[in-house]
Chains A and B, each alone.
Chain A
Amino acid sequence: MAIKFEQVNFEYPSFDGYNFSALKDINLEIAEKGEFITLIGETGSGKSTLVQHMNALIRPTTGSVTIYGIKIEKDTKKKGKVKLNPLRQRVGLVFQFPEYQLFEETVLKDIIFGPKNFGVKESVAIERAKQVIKHVGLDEEYLKRSPFNLSGGEKKRVSIAGILAMEPDILVLDEPTSGLDPKGRDDLLKLFMGIHNDLNKTVIIITHDMNTVYKYASRVLVMNEGHLVYDGLPQELFSKENIKSWNLDIPDIITITRQLEDKLDVNFDRQPHTIQDLFELVKEVI
C-alpha cells in the first residue's frame, strides 16, 4: 500500500473554539500502482481536505496516514525526525486553485522549482519544463511569461505542468479540469490516462463531472459531510438510488440512453459506455 488512512479525523481550528470537523473516521487504502481513481462529492464534503493528507500537507487530528511506510500523525512534525520532502516528491498534488501554487516570476521558474527542490539538475529540469508545457497544451513561448498574467485556464495548465515535471509516483489532482475548455479537458484526461497506462502509476482526480468518472475511473470514492460514503466501481455507483441525496448526478450518456429508450419505446440490452456504443445500439432499432 502506498497510502493508508486509519481512523482519520480532521478538524480545522477556529478562533471561537468551535473547531470544524471536516473529515470523520476515514479508512482508505491507495495502491502505488495501477489505480485510476476519481474522488467526488458535494461542495464542502471534504475532498480537498482529504487529498491534502496524502502528501502530509496537513496532518490528522486523530488517527494516522501512512505514506510509503512513513506514519503521519498529529504531532509528527513536532518530533522533527520525519523528512516530509521525499513524500512530496513521490505524491504530487495539484491544488484546486492554481493561484496557490504559482509564485515565481516566470512560468519556467515555476515549473523547474519543484524538480530542483527535489535534487534534479537545473539543465534537466529545464528540459522537462519544455516537454511538460507542451503536454498541457501550451507552446514553449509561455515559459517566458509571468504565471500571474495568464487566463484562468492557462494558469490551471501551468500548475499541472509544474507537478508533472516532478515526475511523482502518484499523481493527485484537485479539480484539474474545471475551467478548461472541452478539448483541453479531454486532452488532459487522456494525458493522465496515458501516464497511468504507460507507467502504471496511480492517478487520483477530484471532479464534479460525472462523465469523467464514468469514462475513466476504475474506482470511485464519494465523500459526504466528511464521511467516505462509497468506495467502489463507477457502474455500481450510478445504479444506486441515493446518488441524488449526495448531490451527485448521472452521467450524460446514461441519461440520454434512458431518455431514448423511453421515447423510442425500446429496451437496449446493455448500457452503452460511449457515444459510439450508443450509436451501435440505436442503429439496430431505427
Chain B
Amino acid sequence: MNIIEIKDLSFSYQDEIDALSNVTLSVKKGEWVSILGHNGSGKSTLSKLIIGLLKADSGEIKVDGVILNEESVHDIRRKIGIVFQNPDNQFVGVTVEDDIAFGMENLCFEQSDIIDKIKEYAEKVSMSEYLKKEPHALSGGQKQRVAIAGILAMKTDIIIFDEATSMLDPKGRESIMNYIKEINKAGVTVITITHDMKEAVLSDRIIILKEGRVIACGDTNDILNDKETLNSSNLELLLPLKLQYLLDEANLSNDKVKDILWQLSLNK
C-alpha cells in the first residue's frame, strides 16, 4: 500500500523560479526511500509540500489515502515528522528540553509521558547533559542531534530527514543511521534526503531529482550502479564501484572481484 502518492506536482517560488515540475512518485508504507539530487534540485521544496508548509501550484498529494488540502493538513501533519535541513528552523523553545517536547505537545501527549520521552530521546542522541541549555548556544552537530530527538520522540508513522546528519561526526552519524534502521524495521516509513551515497545505500529505493524533475527512481541496487545518471546529477559512485568501473574499462574484471566489490559497496 502506498502511504504517500504524489501526482503531477508543480511548484514555483514567486511565480518565476520553477522549483518542481510535474513530479509523480509514491512511497510504500514501511518503505525507506532516499531522495538525492544536486543543490537546488528541489528536495527540500518537495518535503515542505508533503507536509503542507508550501502549497502546490498544481497536482496532488495523498497521504495515507487522504488528499492534502486546507482541511486535511492538520491531520496529515500528525502523521509526518520532519527534521529540517537547518536545525535552527526547528527551535522555538528557551531550552533544549522545551524543544524536544514541542512536537509531542502539539500531538497532545500526556505531560508525564513527555517528561519520560525527553529523557529517553535525549539519551539516544547523547544530549542528556544539555537539557537545560539554550538551543542557540549549542554547536552545529549538537543542534542537529536535538532536532532529531524532538522528531523521533513524536513517533509519527512517517519521518522525513532533510540532510539531518550533515554536521554530525562519523560516530554520531553512524548511530543515527542505526537508529533509523531500527525504527524502519519497526514499521516507520522513512524518507532521507542526502548527498551521501553511504547513507543512500541503506534505503530500499532511490529517487533522483534534477532541476525540479524526477530523473530516476528505482531499487537502490540498480541506481547505485548507474554511473551516468549519478554523474549527471552531481552525484558520485560509491568507492568500490568506482574501482569496478576502472577495472571494467581496462577489461580486467572477473566475477570474484566484482562480487567482492559489490558486497563492499553494500557494506556487508
Contact = CB atoms under 8 A, between A and B. Distances in A.
Given A44-B141, A259-B264, A210 B235 contact: no
B107 interface: no
A248 B170 CA distance: 6
Say whether chain A's binding surface is mostly helix, strand, loop, or mixed.
Answer: helix
B33 to A, nearest CB: 18
Contact of A175 (B140, B170, B235): B140
Contacts of B141: 42-44, 208
A153 B40 contact: yes
A151 interface: yes
A179 to B, nearest CB: 5
Contacts of A30: none
A109 interface: no
B215 interface: no
Given A208-B168, A247-B169, A248-B169, A152 B234 contact: no
B223 to A, nearest CB: 14
B167 interface: yes
B170 A210 contact: yes
A282 interface: yes
Contact of A260 (B142, B167, B260): B260
Interface stretch (B74-82, B152-160, B179-187, B250-258): B250-258
A180 B173 CA distance: 17
Contacts of B138: 44
A286 B233 CA distance: 33
Contact of B39 (A44, A154, A247): A154
Interface residues of B, number: 45
Interface stretch (A165-173, A227-235, A249-257): A249-257
A264 to B, nearest CB: 7
A123 interface: no
Contacts of A183: 38, 234-236
Contacts of B140: 43, 48, 96-97, 175
Contact of B44 (A99, A152, A278): A152
Contacts of A149: 13-14
A49 B192 CA distance: 30
A286 B247 CA distance: 10
Contacts of A275: 239, 242-243, 246
A179 B86 CA distance: 10
A184 interface: yes
B253 to A, nearest CB: 8
Given A181-B235, A182-B234, A282-B257, A42 B246 contact: no
Contact of B243 (A44, A47, A208, A282): A282
A92 interface: no
Most chain-B CB neighbours within 10 Å: which of A44, A48, A180? A44
Contact of A283 (B137, B145, B195, B250): B250
B243 to A, nearest CB: 6
Interface in A263-281: 263-264, 275-276, 278-279
A153 B166 CA distance: 11
Nearest to B42: A151
Interface string A196-216: 000000000000101000000
A68 interface: no
Interface string B120-157: 00000000000000000111111001000000000000
Contacts of B142: 43-44
B20 to A, nearest CB: 12
Interface string B220-256: 0000000000000111100110110011001010100
Contacts of B39: 151-154, 157, 179-181, 184
Contact of A43 (B172, B247, B254): B172
A264 B246 CA distance: 18
A12 interface: yes
Interface string B40-55: 1001100000000000
A279 B242 CA distance: 9
Given A181-B234, A275-B242, A279-B243, 7 more contacts: A48-B140, A154-B40, A179-B166, A182-B235, A182-B236, A183-B38, A275-B246
Interface of A: 12, 41-44, 47-48, 96-97, 99, 149-154, 157, 175, 178-185, 208, 210, 244, 247-249, 252-253, 256, 259-260, 263-264, 275-276, 278-279, 282-283, 286
6 A-B pairs closest in CB distance: A153-B39, A43-B141, A249-B170, A183-B234, A247-B171, A181-B234
